[in-house]
Structure 1
Amino acid sequence: MGKKLESSFKNMVLVLFLVTLVSSAAVGVVNSLTSGLIEKVKIEKQVQAIRAVVPAFDNDPMTEKQIVEVDGGKLEFYPAKANGQLVGTAIKTFTNNGFSGLVELMVGFTPDGNVYNYSVLSHKETPGLGSKMDAWFVKGAKGDITGKTPGSQGLQVSKDGGDVDAITAATISSRAFLDAVNRAAKALAESAK
């Protein structure tokens, strides 16, 4: 057996330094191996969201992306075209007013400004309450927003005088969801001017 190191401050610092060096190198290697895959999955999720929120198209909206700065953040516009004609616009939008902060959506609009569909990209809302936004506002559901035009007033929950039913026991999350939709609709209307 080899000689045992003496338990001194110098030796403890040296061992701690070596453990930290090896650990950080391992984390760096894992990060470099997975970063490309993570980015690829993120892009694919975004492409699927675009396909889900606008009518069928034959162009590549990702290559025609436009960025618009609004309210201290950036909205991403993805024009969807069929045979060279605009059939809809997918907008990656956000709100910071969720019960648990940031909510990101992909909202699809028809050329006349009606909501075609939406997809929730990310949120940290309460499971079983605010997290129901994934299915609450879809076509045929109680809070259905499809086919509605936000207009100058924007969409509002019925509690605030609007005509959209809020998620039961999750009014804050519902307001936040509609805030993100309204932000996208307003930016789309302003870009058309």
Structure 2
Amino acid sequence: MPELNPRNILIAMLLLAGFAGAGAGLVALVQEGTEARIAENRMQVNRNRIADLTGDLAYANDPVQDTVTLSHELLGGHDLPAWFARDRDHAVMGIVFSAVAPDGYSGSIHLLIGVDRDGELLGVRVSSHRETPGLGDAIEAERSDWIHGFAGRSLGDPPPDQWAVRHDGGVFDQFTGATITPRAVVGAVRRTLEYFDQHRDALLSDTPEDEPSPVEPVAAPHTDEERP
């Protein structure tokens, strides 16, 4: 067995440290690049969804570039982006809100909710979720037509006490074997309409005001109605 001397041990330690540092740097570089691509892809998807939700408006600006961040418990979070569609006179024609339903079956459901200046829904799209495949993922526009049922609705259509799934006495369908997911989405859409109604003047002004307020989590319902 060759004799190990302090010099050889030091060289071996330095080599190992160098390899470890290079490996860690490579992992960090790959992760940074991956996160940047994921963020870019997510923004492109949102851009397409924003265009989809504002497609019926004759706006003159680029809504993706006309954005503010909003923070309110009715929207479900802090620093949520909202995009504005404006006419040639810069008047707001519609807004696409980011909103969070915190009480999905498998966690928070992130939504894009389009509202015109009269408080009528332009449409709703899901931007991200972790709901059960084959059950809760029916909230995706690519999976079913359910999400399209919000278009044209408002706080008065249906009446406030019917802004719920049928299981809870409302007018919105739930999915077979899955009530929690659509219930969460319906609630988030209703709260977003309430936010718009309460802040209409500020939102329709040339410089919308962002008035943060404490965000209180909405407790998920305790039920066994939805199972993977």
Q: Where on the TM-score scale, by shorter chain, does this alignment land: which range?
A: 0.7 to 0.9
In structure 1, what is the Cα distance between the partners aligned to 2:178 and 2:67? 33
Counterpart-to-counterpart distance in 2, 1:33 and 1:123: 23
1:104 is aligned, of 110, 131, 146, to 110
User: Which one of 148, 160, 181 corresponds to residue 153 of structure 1?
Assistant: 160
Q: Is the 8 A contact 1:133 1:167 kept in 2?
A: no
Show the 5 A alignment for 1:1-193: 14=13, 17-54=17-54, 55-56=56-57, 57-71=59-73, 73-74=77-78, 75-84=80-89, 85-134=91-140, 135-139=144-148, 144-151=149-156, 153=160, 155-193=163-201
Relative contact order higher in (CA < 8 Å, ≥ 6 apart): 2
Stretches of structure 2 lacking an aligned partner (at least 5 in a row) = 202-228
Q: Compared with structure 1, are the counterparts of its residues 159 and 28 closer, same or farther at alpha carbon in structure 2 (3 Å cutoff)?
A: same
Deviation at 1:22, TM superposition (A): 2.9
TM-score (norm 1): 0.80
Deviates more, 1:28-37 or 1:107-116: 28-37
1:105 Cα deviation after fit:
0.7
Per-residue deviation, 1:86: 3.0
User: Which moves more between the two structures, 174-183 or 38-47?
Assistant: 38-47
Matched to 1:81, the amino acid is: R
Q: Which amino acid aligns with 2:69?
A: I
Percent of paired sites with the same residue: 25
Q: CA RMSD in A?
A: 2.8
Post-superposition shift, 1:136?
Answer: 4.0
TM-score, L = length of structure 2 = 0.69
